[in-house]
Structures are given as C-alpha cells and as structure tokens.
Structure 1
Amino acid sequence: MNEHRGATGTRTAQAPARLPVRPYEPEAARVAQHAPPPLSVSDGGGRSVLEGAFGLLGAVERAGEAGLTRLAAECGLPKTTAYRLLEQMVELGAVERSRRGYRVGPRLFRLGQGWQPHPGLRTAARAPARRLARITGATVGINVLREGQTLVLDWTVGETPAALGPLLDRVAWPWFTAAGKVLVAAAHPRLPPGPVPASWRQECEEIRTRGVAFDREELMAGVCCLAVPLHGPSGVHLASLSVVTDPAHSLERLVGVAEQTARMISAALRGR
C-alpha cells in the first residue's frame, strides 16, 4: 500500500490503482503477462507474421470456435505469439473472443461475403437469377470452383421444399456437385483434385457435348440439380448457374430456361 502526504502533512494510505479487467479466457490472460511486444509487418519479418495470422484465421475457420492452446498448436506457433496475433485481429474485427476462445469476426465475414471472381458477377446475375427462381419455383445458385471445392456465392430461394433446407446453410461443397462438374469438365486436360470415379471420363465428355451437368440425388437425398456455365468477358467459364429442385420436377425441362438465363448473365458480363 502506498502513502502520500495530504495538505496537513499527515500520512494517509492510498489504495493501489485497479487495472481494468478484460474478458479474456483465463489461459489467454496468463499468456498475456509474458507476451512479447506487438508484431509488425514492417519489421523485416512481415512474411512470417502474415503467414502466422492467416494460419490462425484458417484454424479458427476450421474449428468454428477454439481456445488459444489448440489454435497455437495447430499452427505451430508459441502461445505468446498466437495470443498477440489473435488479439491484434480482435481489434481489427477479423476474429472475436467467445466463451470457448476465438471465432471468426464480423469484419472477416463481411469481406468474405463480398468476394467474387469478377467484379460484375453478382450484379449481372441478380435480376436473371430472381426471374429464373420466380418462373420455375426452383432455387438458383451462382457458384465458383476454388481449391477443389464448389463455393456458392449467392442463393436465390424459390419454392424450396423442406429437403433443401440444409443445402442453403452451406457455402462450400465437394467439386463433384453439378455446379462444380460443369466447370471441371471445361478445364480439360486438367483433372479434378482427389480420386476420380471410373465413370467420370464418360460423364465429362457428355457435359462438354451438352454444356450442362446433372446431379440426381447423388450428393444429397431428395435434392436434384442441373448446372450450366457462365462465361466471362474473355469467354472462359467464369462461374456456373445451378438450378436446384426436388425429384418430383424434371431437370430436363429446366435446361432450356437455365441456358437462356446463363446467356443473359454472360452477355451482361461482356458489357452487352
């Protein structure tokens, strides 16, 4: 306890200053006492700092929510380094603290939602996709192929049956969805990542010939899908348009209107 003299010269006791308590998880609070100074990307070690930060972001994404020990171990980082990086990303909104540790933050979510392989894709697809969903009652997706996965950029929900509910909660699927197959088939002679089914060679040729891919409950029971490519300004397959419905509807009857919609979107991407 400290002392100080008042105006009368008498000694009075002064209570020690109380530091504000931040809602860290207990482990993180202990690590914080021995953490090194904040890291900077301009101190000559920028590359390693960025690799560490992105490694932690990837670990948080895979885990959904995890504590400091697990994240540091998965990325091969000292706890003190992982703690400093995570706390800097908390201040930036890339991650946020939770009861179990850390999870993806709102700023990273917003940035991710804005990604697209061409700056005009979402705008070009919005009205045609809504029209297609309205006249067919099907759910329409705009998809891209990245790192061996089919990523859904946008869903336009039609008269969605209950079986399609879980579909809308996911944005990443294996490459062998109809939306992914139509893009992989166009990437000849490159083969898709991972094991290739024996029937793929024949199916790939059929997709190239017709320009459409199908999924008849192959990936999920009660869900059928067709997909056609969307062409970018240079004519390459930029993305795919998928039409998702249930087995009660004929996919073949939806091919013509899906192709017409794809041509409208592709023309808009070419500025026509």
Structure 2
Amino acid sequence: MATATAAARPRTGPPDPAPSPDLAGPLSATAGRGVLEGAFALLDALHHREDAGVTTLASACGLPKTTAYRLLDQLVELGAVERSAGRYRIGPGMFRLGQGWQPYPGLREAAQRPLRRLAAATGTTATLAVLYEGQTLILDRTGTDLSRPVPDDRRIWPWYTATGKVLAAWAGPGPQIGPLPRSWPDEAVRIRESGVAYDREEVLEGVCCAAVPVFAAGRVPVAALGVLTGPDQRLERLAETARRAASAITTALRRQHRPAPAALGRHR
C-alpha cells in the first residue's frame, strides 16, 4: 500500500560522553555541537515517547538532568517542544519545519493539485510518498467523502508499501531496506517494466493500493503516487488514472526547472 526519497535524521542514541557545557555562558564550537546533539537527542526521544518527564528524557539521552531541563526550556521557547504539567511533547514548530521538507525542489507544490484531482477522480485516498532510509514517508495525503478511510494517519510505513516498492525498484541493488525476499529481484523488474506496483493487503488488512513513479529530470523517480482502496476495487484501472496524475506532476516539475530564455535585447 502506499502511504509512499528527504536532511540528516536526528541521532537516535545518546551522544558521546563529554563534559556538559554551561548553557548559560558562551559556547565554543565543540560545546555548541554538543548542545545541538543533546537537543536533537531530546527531540528524538520525544518522538518515540510522545509525552514524558525530564527525568525519563534525560536518562534516555544520557544527559545530566539539569542539562536536559535547560535544553528543553530553550526548545519550549522556540516552539519545538510543548510543556504541560511538567511533561513534554513535540511542539508545533517541529510540525511546520517538517512540512517544509521535500526530496526535490518544488515537489509539494507541483503535486498538490494533481493529488487532489486524483482523489476526486477515483474516490480513493491519494498519497504522495518517498523512500528514505528504508521506510516509506508520506509527504501528502488527501481523500474524498467516498474514499475508504485508512485505519490511522501514520506518516512512516515499511518499505514494502506499493509506493515504497515503486521507489525501491528503481533504487538499484542497495536501497538500504534490509533483507529482501527472494522474489524481490523478479518483482522489481516487473515494476520497472510496467511502471506500477501493487499492495494487496500486504501492509493493512482490507486496504489495497496501486502506485506509480513520479519523475522529474532524470530516469530515477523522485517520488511515488499511490491510490488506497478496498479489495473490491480494480487496482489496474486506478493505476491508469494515477499515471495521468503523475505525468501532470512531472510536467509541472520540468516547467519549474526549465532554464530561463536568454534575455532579449542583448548587446550584439
């Protein structure tokens, strides 16, 4: 199924042991890097715990409690973290920053209208996705009143969604998606030849998907479009409609990045 290739991920483990800098005073380049690592470690810990106290977060990141508290206080001021009754969670500032990320310049803007038209034309939930570090990331998603609801609104899914398979098929022999089933090389060839990948309840029971690649300037897709529906729908027919939407996005991307014509009236 689709649910959906872009900035270094926050460090998932505790930072290397080092003296904790005094956050109230001036920072050297080395100390500043330690502060950034600590802040990203806290954000990553909040991502996995959703709501936690300073003691839990400090322990998870390997930070002194006083350092964790000061960093969290600064992150609250910046809107990256929210605090309520002594507990913390990811703030709206991180949501706004995350919405700005895209693997190719202008992709979100170019896909916005075709994605909504695709959902309206098919009566499905339509998604725009990329493959990043072995996972399918949903950049955008839209549906209609007639579309089958997806059980949850997660933005990160396994690589073997329909959109993930489309992108993995073009990613070459090392897409960093972990162990592959023995049948994958043959399936990848079929996906490249047909230009479509399917998910028939492989990820979620009762949810199927057809996905097609979105190209820009090269021969490797920059994203994938998927249409999610129930098992009673013909995925092949949905794939044809999705191809037209993907072609519209490709045209818009190429128009955005077309070199400007030479200025008129230059000196001869």
Name the counterpart of 1:268.
Answer: 252
Q: Is the 8 A contact 1:36 1:80 kept in 2?
A: no
1:48-127 equivalent positions in 2, closer than 5 A: 48-99=34-85, 101-127=87-113
For residues 132 and 27 of structure 2, what CA distance do their matches in structure 1 show? 28
Task: Please report how far the alpha carbon of residue 146 of structure 1 lies from its aligned counterpart in structure 2 after TM superposition.
Answer: 1.2
Secondary structure of 1:103's partner?
A: strand
Name whichever of 35-44 and 256-265 sits farther off.
35-44
Distance across 2 between alignment mates of 1:154 and 1:160: 16
* 1:198 corresponding residue in structure 2: 182
1:23 matched to which residue of 2? none
> RCO (CA 8 Å, sep 6+): is it higher in 1 or 2?
2
TM-score, with normalisation over the residues of structure 2? Answer: 0.82
Distance 1:41 1:145 in 2: 37
| CA distance in structure 2 between the partners assigned to 1:171 and 1:266 by the alignment | 23
What are the Cα deviations for residues 149-205 of structure 1, in whole angstroms up to 9, with x where unaligned? Answer: 1111111103222xx3324x1111011101111001101121442221222222112
* 1:28 alignment counterpart: none
**Equivalent residue of 2:89, what SS?**
strand
Distance in 1, Cα, partners of 2:193 & 2:29: 55
Greater Cα offset, 84-93 or 251-260: 251-260
User: For residue 18 of structure 2, what is the aligned residue in structure 1?
Assistant: none
Equivalent residue in structure 2 for 1:165, among 150, 159, 166: 150
* In 2, Cα distance between equivalents of 1:44 and 1:194: 34
Shift of residue 262, structure 1, vs aligned partner: 0.7
Q: Which structure has the greater CA radius of gyration? A: 1
Once residues 65 and 55 of structure 1 are traced to their aligned partners in structure 2, the CA distance between those partners, rounded to angstroms, is 15
Distance 1:256 1:270 in 2: 21
Mapped partners of 1:40, 1:146: distance in 2 = 37
- Tell me if the contact between 2:128 and 2:225 (Cα under 8 Å) persists in the aligned partners: yes
Q: Structure 2: which amino acid aligns with 1:219?
A: V
Q: Which runs of 5+ in 1 are unaligned?
A: 1-34
- CA apart distance, 1:113: 1.8
**Superposition misfits of 4+ residues, deviation over 3 angstroms:** 39-44
Asked if the contact 2:171/2:220 (under 8 Å) is kept, the reply is no
Structure 1 residues 154 and 39 mapped into 2: Cα distance closer, same or farther (>3 Å)?
farther
Q: Which runs of 5+ in 2 are unaligned?
A: 1-20, 257-268
Match in the other structure for 2:8: none
Contact 2:200-2:231 at 8 Å conserved across structures: yes
Worse-superposed segment, 112-121 or 242-251: 112-121
Q: What's the offset of the Cα at 1:119? A: 3.0
Offset from partner CA, 1:56-81 (integer Å, 9 cap, x none): 10001111111111111111111111
Match of 2:236 among 233, 245, 252: 252
Q: Name the SS of the counterpart of 1:131 in structure 2.
A: helix
1:130 corresponds, among 116, 132, 135, to: 116
- Asked if 1:223 is matched to 2:210, the reply is no
What percentage of residue pairs aligned between the two structures are identical? 55
In structure 2, the CA distance between the partners of 1:47 and 1:222, relative to structure 1 (3 Å rule), is same
The alignment partner of 2:203 has SS state of: coil
| Aligned residue pairs, count | 235
- 2:15 equivalent in structure 1: none
* Cα gap change, 1:123 to 1:224, in 2 (>3 Å): same
**Change beyond 3 A, Cα 1:201–1:41:** farther
C-alpha distance in 2 between matches for 1:80 and 1:174: 37
Query: In the alignment, what sits opposite 1:140?
Result: 126
Distance 1:157 1:83, change over 3 A: same
* Kept after mapping to 2: 8 A contact 1:40/1:49: no
**Aligned twin of 1:29:** none
Is the CA contact (8 Å cut-off) linking 1:68 and 1:101 kept in structure 2?
A: yes
Aligned to 1:21: none
